[in-house]
């Protein structure tokens, strides 16, 4: 899913790694809930981020989104790249077992990357439209480096300018 609020603000692999470390408990609780509800296919394997980071460290400083799109760890992961990698993976033909295994691994990585991005954007969206507050979560710094945190999220501020939200009547 593409969030218009974050076009041009997409996270990089490095930012997703930081996000997962900060929010590991959130992912673990979600995965436990999936197991309880017998929805193991919905679990999020966030090790894909670690694998991409490790690949980049081991091989010339870059990794491949879905095994196809060459990307550097500090480059934004844009929806177009994920979509293109998914398309390439679906359209490619495997001619022997090693290619089948590689294609399956890449498909699994893409599926989990998309799930991780969805969680990331949902959390950013909550902060983007958040009303003013005094207690700022540690996650706020991952989405925005804005010092005007006490006036609410960027989206809240935009809506507040155009409506009566947050104004005393």
Tens of pLDDT, residues 88-143: 999 988 899 999 999 999 999 999 999 999 999 998 888 888 888 764 444 455 55
Share of the chain above pLDDT 90, in %: 62
Query: Mean pLDDT across the chain, nearest whole number?
Result: 87
Share of the chain above pLDDT 70, in %: 88
Radius of gyration of the chain (CA): 19
- Give me the phi and psi of 3, to 5 degrees please: -100, 115
Mean pLDDT of 22-44: 91
> Contacts by 96-103 with C-beta closer than 8 Å and gap 24+?
102/67, 103/67
Higher pLDDT, 154 or 139: 154
Q: Is the pLDDT of residue 149 over 90?
A: no
* Cα(49)–Cα(54) distance, integer angstroms: 9
* Cα(148)–Cα(37) distance, integer angstroms: 41
pLDDT of residue 166: 67
Judged by average pLDDT, the poorest of 32-46, 51-65, 153-167 is 153-167
* Cα(35)–Cα(41) distance, integer angstroms: 9
Higher pLDDT, 166 or 48: 48
CB 118 within 8 A of CB 46: no
């Amino acid at each position: 899913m593409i969030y218009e609020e974050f076009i041009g603000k997409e996270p990089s692999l490095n930012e997703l790694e930081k996000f997962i470390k900060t929010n590991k408990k959130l992912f673990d609780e979600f995965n436990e809930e999936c197991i309880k509800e017998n929805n193991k296919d919905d679990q999020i394997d966030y090790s894909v981020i670690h694998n991409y980071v490790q690949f980049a460290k081991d091989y010339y400083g870059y990794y491949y989104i879905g095994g196809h799109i060459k990307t550097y760890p500090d480059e934004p992961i844009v929806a177009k790249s994920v979509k293109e990698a998914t398309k390439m993976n679906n359209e490619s033909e495997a001619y022997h077992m090693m290619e089948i295994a590689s294609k399956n691994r890449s498909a699994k990585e893409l599926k989990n990357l998309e799930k991780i991005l969805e969680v990331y954007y949902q959390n950013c969206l909550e902060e983007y439209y958040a009303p003013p507050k005094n207690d700022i979560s540690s996650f706020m710094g991952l989405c925005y480096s804005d010092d005007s945190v006490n006036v609410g999220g960027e989206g809240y501020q935009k809506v507040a300018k155009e409506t009566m939200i947050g104004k005393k009547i």
